[in-house]
Structure 1
Amino acid sequence: MKRLMHIVRKGTLSTLDEQLEGSRGNEEDESAVQITDEMQAKVAAKKIFINVAKQGSKRIYLADLMHFLREDEALKAIRLFDGESETQGISKRALKNWVVNVFRERKALALSLDDTKTAVKKLHQMLNVAMVVEEMNILTTVFLRFDKQKITYPNSVLATKPIANYYRSPDMRDDIDFSIHVSTPVEKVSLMKQRITSYVENKSEHWHPAPSIFVRDVEDMNRVKISVWLFHRMNFQDMLERWKRRGLLVEEMIKIFKDLDIEYRMLPVDMNVRKMPTLASNRLPSNWKACTN
């Protein structure tokens, strides 16, 4: 166990280049094939792509990996990305993002093992509040809330509460709800769904394909409630990244609504004026004077 912890804390990620260089007699300095920061992770991903993909190709395919790995190992490797990679290949961007995420996770694990007080630094959801485990004691656990406030819970209380663990969760779903006017033509609604789906599927590094877009309800006889359900290619451990991706999608949806002239209007309100106050001034709004000239 001590050896494992030492490897995680002190070790560095090795790349395929490192193995290739090792077979050539370690001609280059060891630091040149180790990943110690995110920039080196991106450089390593680029070198891997160039060395593995066919010249001029924009993706790495299963056949390319089988030049370096057994068939079962190549299949396991390509399935680390998404279900479509086995047939459509791995893009340069997808490979870069994957290598950077692996580096981040390993770095986070190494840092957490350096201090027993932060040995479980994983994002949790408890009592509808996202918090990070800051310190674990025999009788109490200290959490760090999103605004950096420390909250202490007795372990006897935590033992009776369900705690959702973001860190160990698979790719998670996000929901976006909005309303449109009930008189919106069906053709516009259909085109809106197509454009939202197209945006999501073109952002394959952020989202899984085929989002669910459907009518949820009709409210007050004048608005139709529509929901978009879609899956991130990540869990919500990195909450900031989750909201960035979601924000970009919402901005694109607003652009689509404007392009298609899709809007929501309030119901008309009847007003009966029985008495008007006596006019106490002969001044008129400035735009009225412009209209009378």
Structure 2
Amino acid sequence: MTINALARPRILASKFNVRNFFERIQESVFHQYVLQTLSGPPLIEEAERVGREPSTGHLSFTSTNGTVEEKKVLDMGKVHKMKQEKVSAWTMRVLIEAVGASGLSTISHTLDESSNRKKRSDKEITNEMEAVAVAYDIFNNVAQPNSSYIEEEDLLRFMIKEEVDLVLPLIECSETGKITRKAFTEWVIKVYTSRKALGHSLNDTKTAVKQVDKILTGVLSVIAFIIWLILMDIATTKFLVTA
């Protein structure tokens, strides 16, 4: 049995992970981006106001490596174009970090008492009640004052047309194409529960791969020990013959 043959289960497990989770991870990352973008200021509207060309946005998240926290950014334009068969191992790792290393979060603006200015921070959703509260805040942030609906024009203040076209089919709209508060709230809850389920699946798979690694390490150790015994036996035999 060769080393390549022993490593094959690990390689197959990794390929299975990519094939099984890529679309779910890509979708979850986009959902995270939508929540962050709609909870913040209308960046597209602001860009047009100053004469800047609107473009696809970025998703920021915090990756934790031991005790060290690192801010990372994903270009959503590139995420939209990713194809499963062409995605690199490094890119897949970053996408998994975006889903697993950080929780589902939105942008929260709180008042910094020291400077009397608003400061931006990430607000993580940890249960369904918080998902409902987030949906309420985002709806009020996006919809026109006193409106019962979010319309396409409202979303275009925050996202480019191509992204809005991806968002609208995700949320159950009325016959007029408008998004009610109830429909938006149900979608945010669905996003939270899907993200939670995906996180559990990734953790379970990570545990399974670690078990494969342990088995491979054990097998390799046994093989190395046997080879050592064989070499020692050969050396001993040669010594006795020459003596």
Query: TM-score normalised to the size of structure 1?
Result: 0.34
> Whose strand fraction is larger, Structure 1's or Structure 2's?
1
